[in-house]
Amino acid sequence: MPATSWFEQASALPGAPGIKRLVTTSASWLQAAQELATAGGRLLALWASHHGDTGSEVHAAIAAAPGVLVLTLPRSPSRHDYPSLGVCFPAAGRMQRALRDLSGLECGDWDARPWLRHTAWQARRHPLAAEPELPWQGDAAIDDYPFVRVEGDGVHEIAVGPVHAGIIEPGHFRFSVVGEKILRLEARLGYVHKGIEQRFQSLPILQGYRLAARVSGDSTVAFSWAYCQALEGMAAVAIPERGAHLRALALELERIANHCGDLGALGNDAGFAFGMSQFSRLKEFVLRASEVAFGQRYLFDLVVPGGTQVDIAAAGSATIAACLVKVAEQSALIRRIYNDHAGVRDRFVGTGTVAPTLAAQLGLCGFAGRASAQPFDLRVDLPCDPYPELGVVAARQTDGDVAARVAIRFDELLESCRLVNCILERLPPGPYQLAVPEPASGTLGIGLIEGWRGPVLVALQAGRSGTVQRCHPHDPSWQNWPVLEHAVIGNIVPDFPLINKSFNLSYSGHDL
């Protein structure tokens, strides 16, 4: 069956443009996923929702040529299994492990190790499942977590983390090496699990955007916009044009600030502290301009249901425009310095390579995917307002190494500067926010925004009396963390910090 035929059978879902939903059987669930994967589809998210005595549902959001298809597989109260998607989407592996930890649903995958629990609750408990409260029986037992062993002459292991030097969130990295050459890397994450998905269920649905904004602090605009997009679609509300433009302005400022920070850090990791000092200065310019425009350096709670919390200040447009002239001109100059510096080139070129074929197989997404010839960018492929009128030019590189990921950041930085100027020139008059009513109970909406790191998805389901029945926020780091393990193979251990920073994946957004 052609992939498009699955979309023809599906019904539209409120929220982001181009999203449909298809309720499946166990057989059609797997068949649809396999045919969408064969047609070049990519898995965006996988989650479960529970409905008390009526059972549960497993959901998979898959992006394919016509749009995004959400496959929903109902499970009766006595059924706790579903077909694994790992055979067609390797990125599903850790999502399925997390789903088992949180919801108790099993897919029979080969990897039965826990992912998120970390003894925070007993193994027989499932925090998101609609199951009776179990009595607590002492401390949860520490999991036996057998890392994959590499055997051979001269092979030894280096264990790094979960506590790291400096200010960084926890993650454990187990290297198998010969000398300094990396044969295998296996990461264990989940240490920053905060119970965000359960916390959503205690919030009024019109207030949940504040928690969404704190899923991953460097993507606050993307997550809060995705949440509000889902909510507004469920409530059948079209936000004012000015509010949509202000959201896009904030999103691009977030992208610029993050790329500036990482381009500096990448220079520093290559032993070129000049890059760090210069890009730290440029990032500071952007944060100060944001404060003048919106009253905040980091734009938490700027995006609210119905638009934005505030309008841009009187001096905001001129301040941002002047700031971005500096950023564009000086980042272009620093790029030439990076390209001409023999030491920096030696560290960047050919390091941490992800070939396009491997990137496609593993579902690498966002700017890291675009550095490996994966052109998917929601601002181009499934744009929400006001992006269709802005004519976004998606950056693309093919080499897939650190140098390519650096080049993509430079390209996207300049393109975001152009987009911000377009937004400021076209900023329509009128209101920037309107009231949003509570959606009907049981309604499901999907928000989908291209954050600076990649596609950010929020699946939101309304409960009774203005509550949240279920909210699943998904960061693109879920797809990209496993790819990092492949990118380091054959490189030397001292290059790991550089390769890791070239992806700069989120711990907080991944662990929830």
State which amino acid sits at residue 246: L
**Are the CB atoms for 66 and 12 separated by under 8 Å?**
no
Residue 259: predicted pLDDT = 98
Which is more confidently placed, 59 or 53? 59
Measured in whole angstroms, the distance separating CA 36 from the mean position of its chain's CA atoms is 21
State which amino acid sits at residue 383: P
Determine which of 62-66, 344-348, 419-423 has the lowest per-residue pLDDT on average: 62-66
Q: Is a pLDDT exceeding 80 seen at residue 137?
A: no
Residue 309: predicted pLDDT = 97
Mean pLDDT across the chain: 93
The DSSP output letter for 118 is T
Q: Which residue has the tokens 């993509």?
A: 408
Mean pLDDT of 306-312: 97
Residue 235: predicted pLDDT = 96
Residue 261: predicted pLDDT = 97
Cis peptide before 386 (omega within 30 of 0): yes
Query: pLDDT tens digit string along 33-58?
Result: 999 999 999 999 999 998 877 889 99
Q: In angstroms, rounded to a whole number, what is the distance separating the alpha carbons of residues 47 and 60?
A: 7
Q: In angstroms, rounded to a whole number, what is the distance separating the alpha carbons of residues 212 and 216?
A: 8
Mean pLDDT of 85-108: 92
Mean pLDDT of 9-20: 94
Residue 321: predicted pLDDT = 97
pLDDT band, very low/low/confident/very high, at 192 (cuts 50, 70, 90): confident
Mean pLDDT of 410-438: 97
Instruction: Indicate the pairing of strand 42-50 with strand 56-64.
Output: antiparallel
CA angle 137, 142, 148 (to 5 degrees): 150
Domain architecture of the chain: domains with CATH: 3-103 (3.30.460.80), 155-188 (no CATH), 196-511 (1.10.645.10)
- List the end-to-end C-alpha distance of the chain, in Å, as a whole number: 37
Token representation of residue 95: 């999502």
Q: Is a pLDDT exceeding 60 seen at residue 349?
A: yes
Token representation of residue 501: 């920073």
Query: pLDDT tens digit string along 114-127?
Result: 888 888 777 778 88
Q: Is a pLDDT exceeding 80 seen at residue 82?
A: yes
Mean pLDDT of 403-418: 98
Residue 246 CB burial class (10 angstroms; 0-12, 13-18, ≥19): buried
Token representation of residue 303: 């995006």
**Are the CB atoms for 205 and 231 separated by under 8 Å?**
yes
Mean pLDDT of 288-295: 97
Residue 133: predicted pLDDT = 58
Q: In angstroms, rounded to a whole number, what is the distance separating the alpha carbons of residues 32 and 35?
A: 5
pLDDT above 70 as % of the chain:
97
Residue 121: predicted pLDDT = 79
pLDDT band, very low/low/confident/very high, at 351 (cuts 50, 70, 90): very high
Scanning 272-429, the segments in alpha helix (DSSP H) are 273-294, 316-340, 342-348, 356-362, 366-370, 378-381, 387-390, 402-426
Residue 161: predicted pLDDT = 84
Report the DSSP beta bridge partners of residue 43. Answer: 62
**Are the CB atoms for 198 and 186 separated by under 8 Å?**
no
Q: In angstroms, rounded to a whole number, what is the distance separating the alpha carbons of residues 285 and 43?
A: 37
**Are the CB atoms for 113 and 104 separated by under 8 Å?**
no
Report the DSSP beta bridge partners of residue 188. Answer: 172
**Closest Cα partner for 16 from 49, 40, 45?**
45
Query: pLDDT tens digit string along 354-387?
Result: 999 999 999 999 999 999 999 999 999 999 999 9
**Closest Cα partner for 70 from 233, 222, 196?**
233
**Closest Cα partner for 120 from 143, 96, 146?**
143
Residue 11: predicted pLDDT = 94
pLDDT above 90 as % of the chain:
83
Q: Is a pLDDT exceeding 80 seen at residue 143?
A: no
Cis peptide before 162 (omega within 30 of 0): yes
Mean pLDDT of 456-460: 98
Mean pLDDT of 293-310: 97
**Are the CB atoms for 308 and 432 separated by under 8 Å?**
yes
Query: pLDDT tens digit string along 202-247?
Result: 999 999 999 999 999 999 999 999 999 999 999 999 999 999 999 9
Residue 135: predicted pLDDT = 57
Residue 169: predicted pLDDT = 86
